Amino acid sequence: MKSAAPVSPQPGALDPADNAGIERFADMLWLEHGLARNSLSAYRSDLALLARWLRVQGRALDGAGTAELKGYLAHRTEQARKKELEGRPFSARSQARFITVCRRYYGWLVRERVRGDDPSAHLEMPRLGRALPKTLSLEQVDQLLDAPGTEDALGLRDRAMLELMYASGLRVSELVKLRRDELNLEHGVVRLVGKGGRERMVPMGEMAMEAVKTWLRQGRPEFAGEKSGDAVFLGRRGEAMTRQNFWLLIKRHALAVGIPAKLSPHTLRHAFATHLLERGADLRAVQTLLGHADLSTTQIYTHVARARLKQLHALHHPRG
């Protein structure tokens, strides 16, 4: 009896050997560098797209050369111009991220002695403009925090989430994953484990603390069920809130009070940092509160604060 012919991969399917290499690389990033789940997912996605394109060219991911990597960058750029790349432009920032992923991946292959050269070493990084985070004025923050009604459990939850994010500068992932044992409502602090496993203690402020207490006492019991666990913030079905649900929540309340819809899920975190710096907070202290490993990441908020102060000066100073 003849043995069955090998089945060729389906169009667009990831070759098993390429997939195995990507997974080993992701495991290394998690074990040695503590990369967060979202970062690992982005690395996998970039490498998988590259691997599929290389297979069409007759190359394995581990065997790509500099010419192929440059060819892929040109391909992505051209596809973006034609708006065929899932409707998303391949921006300079996306290109820089892809090159960073390649350098880490092929550098790892060299260290593991899978190959003797790094084909990504000759890729040139694009110049990146400094993107300033979108933020809100104090008046807009007040409007947004007051938007949820407090007559029902849903409003109590939304008010507590918005107040806590602005008061403590939490990341969305930290907010939705928050557990009750990470809250110290007696002393008004939140214990967080952020990116890279770094732990920090952040003050809540009186208004956020009262909003969270009210939610836990009056609102959360209405949603709580078998799937709730120790999560602080719950959806209608009793499960922990998700990033997507919070994004819809903040957009809904922003539109309700007339705030422009082009907000990021981290809008209140950005406002937290900017408003602290506008009022003279020490940059190092803000870095600690935000959980940034590198001070340069926090320094971007000084540019936002300066820009807003210039606007206020021009608007209100007699010789502005």
What SS3 class is residue 189?
strand
- Of 261, 290, 288, 260, residue with least CA distance to 166: 290
Position of tokens 């009262």?
A: 210
Q: Taking the chain, what is the end-to-end CA distance rounded to the nearest angstrom?
A: 90
Return d(Cα 80, Cα 14) in angstroms, integer.
22
Cβ atoms of residues 60 and 18 within 8 Å? yes
Q: Which of 220, 269, 270, 275 is catalytic?
A: 269
Catalytic residue flag (residue 70): no
Cβ atoms of residues 194 and 171 within 8 Å? yes
Distances (CA, A) of 102 to 113, 150, 209: 16, 50, 45
Catalytic residue flag (residue 43): no
Q: Which of 43, 106, 166, 301 is catalytic?
A: 301
Q: What is the 3-state secondary structure (H, E, C) of 13-47?
A: CCCHHHHHHHHHHHHHHHHHHCCCHHHHHHHHHHH
Catalytic residue flag (residue 195): yes
Cβ atoms of residues 9 and 15 within 8 Å? yes
Q: Which of 177, 253, 266, 275 is catalytic?
A: 266
Return d(Cα 67, Cα 53) in angstroms, integer.
13
Q: Which of 55, 159, 171, 177 is catalytic?
A: 171
Alpha helices in the chain (DSSP H): 16-33, 37-56, 66-81, 92-111, 138-146, 153-168, 172-176, 206-214, 220-223, 243-256, 267-278, 283-290, 295-316
- Of 283, 288, 285, residue with least CA distance to 302: 283
Q: Which of 195, 243, 251, 303 is catalytic?
A: 195
Catalytic residue flag (residue 301): yes
Catalytic residue flag (residue 106): no
Cβ atoms of residues 102 and 123 within 8 Å? yes
Catalytic residue flag (residue 171): yes
Burial classification of residue 237, based on how many CB atoms lie within 10 Å of its CB (0-12 exposed, 13-18 middle, 19 or more buried): exposed
Which residues are catalytic, by number? 171, 195, 266, 269, 292, 301
